[in-house]
Amino acid sequence: MITDKPNFFDYDLTDLENLLVSWGEPGYRIDQVWRGMYQELKVNPDEISNIPKSLRIKLKNYFNYSNLLTESTLISANGQTEKTLFRLPDKLAIETVLMRYEKRRTLCISTQSGCALGCVFCATGQMGFGRHLTSGEIIEQVILFERILRENDESLTNVVVMGMGEPFHNYDNTMAALDRLNHPRGLNMGARRFTVSTVGLIPQILRFAKERRQINLAISLHAAEDELRNSILPINKRYPLQDLMDACREYVNKTHRRITFEWALILGVNDTEEQANKLAELLHGLICHVNIIPLNPTNGYAGKATTIQRARIFKGELERKGISCTIRVRRGIDIQAGCGQLASEA
């Protein structure tokens, strides 16, 4: 249901401070409210016991505390991957995925409903663009799953901004959300526990570099020559590979941080030794790591995943050229929760 009330999680600390000061509240109330919602993970101010009842009522009446309505949850056959469909107030939808590893709990969050960039093998791109998420809607995904995990004495170890949407297309809201989740007085998750993935929006990569953030950067590459990349990632026509690589080198030079390149291996398309060699040439001298993963299937793309044998050959070629590389294990394929599979029926 659409509400006229502002979402609490769309407010930063300064916004909240200005509001509470305008209400005549003492300064220490700001920390009490902020800590209650971000660190103690209260559902609403009714649960914040160390603030007066009058302030609880005021806050509850002023704000909306969730834009995300849980519509369905699917759990993979091995129990390690959980995908939740959330309905937004305007009836659009997003999906968020929790992945359980032996020692890690990784959450894959969305920044848009749908996506405007149209990568051909991605179910979200096949949907088209709905809208940007607000910073609060991005934050809420993390808060909700952290709340669930804490009930079992667990906690999120990593957040990957690789769900629905292109995070750098929604740069301001995405960074505002991560700043609040990272803030010592917010959820206080270390910056290096976040990874943001982009298909290569060069102005935003350069802005990200200039801001010298400690958040990890991943680039969805998938091809090492323009003609091939144009055919699977249309954004390459606007930001071709050489320009993208120049931006990546600028990022590394300014931050001294390693970039991860994502590569979905498509049988007979980009899984050849020739592509591996061209990729190695493209990345020569760059501080980087390549994550390769056999393509996850989607209804709107006829391409097939490479075989594990071809993936190993591809990896071997990169490593022989001095490029660090890992074959990632596909997760949640049976519930359409893998990379590139997130979509909604909205």
For 91-105, what is each residue's pLDDT tens digit?
A: 999 999 999 988 999
| Spatial distance between the Cα atoms of 74 and 296, rounded to a whole number of angstroms | 17
131 strand-pairing partners: 113
Give the per-residue pLDDT at 2.
61
Which token pair is 166?
């292109």
Q: Point out the residues of the chain with pLDDT beneath 50.
A: 332, 337-338, 340-342, 346
Identical fold at 8-62 and 69-335?
Answer: no
Domain coordinates in residue numbering, the chain: 8-62, 69-335
Domain covering 8-62: architecture: Orthogonal Bundle (1.10)
Give the per-residue pLDDT at 264.
93
Mean pLDDT of the chain: 92
pTM over 0.95: no
User: In the CATH scheme, what is the homologous superfamily, with its name and number, of domain 69-335?
Assistant: Aldolase class I (3.20.20.70)
Q: Which of the residues are catalytic?
A: 95, 339
Give the per-residue pLDDT at 334.
53
